Copies of this chain bind each other. A is one copy, B any other.
Amino acid sequence: MTHVQQMVQTNFNQAAVDESTLVECIEACFDCAQSCTACADACLGEGDIQMLARCIRLCLDCTEVCEATGKILSRQTAFDAEMARAALEACARACGICGDECERHADHHEHCGVCAEACRHCESACNNVLTAV
């Protein structure tokens, strides 16, 4: 059992959505924030940075949105569905945009491929919570 799962279960207030759907989304948000931070950095170390400027920029943007969403979903006290939806919708869109860009570079840069995968997973995890909330 991960710490995320334990923290969800030991909260006095019950999760607003199915526990495993929530845990998967929280973990995906933090994972995607890390992958995007690392991908922006890996791109910065490549020879063809100019080609990767958009990828770097979107990865930085996506990091911020994933972090915000992962923390908002980690809170179960005085849960506000509208606040959760605002964050989740932004996050699904950010991951979609960033994932598309990373995918375009996946053939030349393995880190972009890994990051695209993290984005896709987070986008889909956000959409799953959006359906349930």
Contact = CB atoms under 8 A, between A and B. Distances in A.
Contacts of A33: 30, 71
Nearest to A26: B34
Contacts of A31: 3-4, 30
Given A3-B35, A7-B114, A64 B53 contact: no
For the complex of A and B, the 8 pairs showing the least CB-CB separation, nearest first, are A64-B68, A7-B38, A90-B90, A45-B77, A54-B78, A86-B93, A10-B111, A41-B75
> Which label, helix, strand, loop or mixed, suits the secondary structure of the A interface?
helix
B90 A86 contact: yes
A24 interface: no
B67 A64 contact: yes
Contacts of A110: 10
Interface residues of A, number: 64
Interface in A47-99: 49-50, 53-54, 56-58, 60-61, 63-65, 67-68, 70-72, 74-78, 80, 82-83, 86-87, 89-90, 93-94, 97-98
A19 interface: no
A42 B76 CA distance: 7
A18 interface: no
A13 B47 CA distance: 12
A83 B66 CA distance: 13
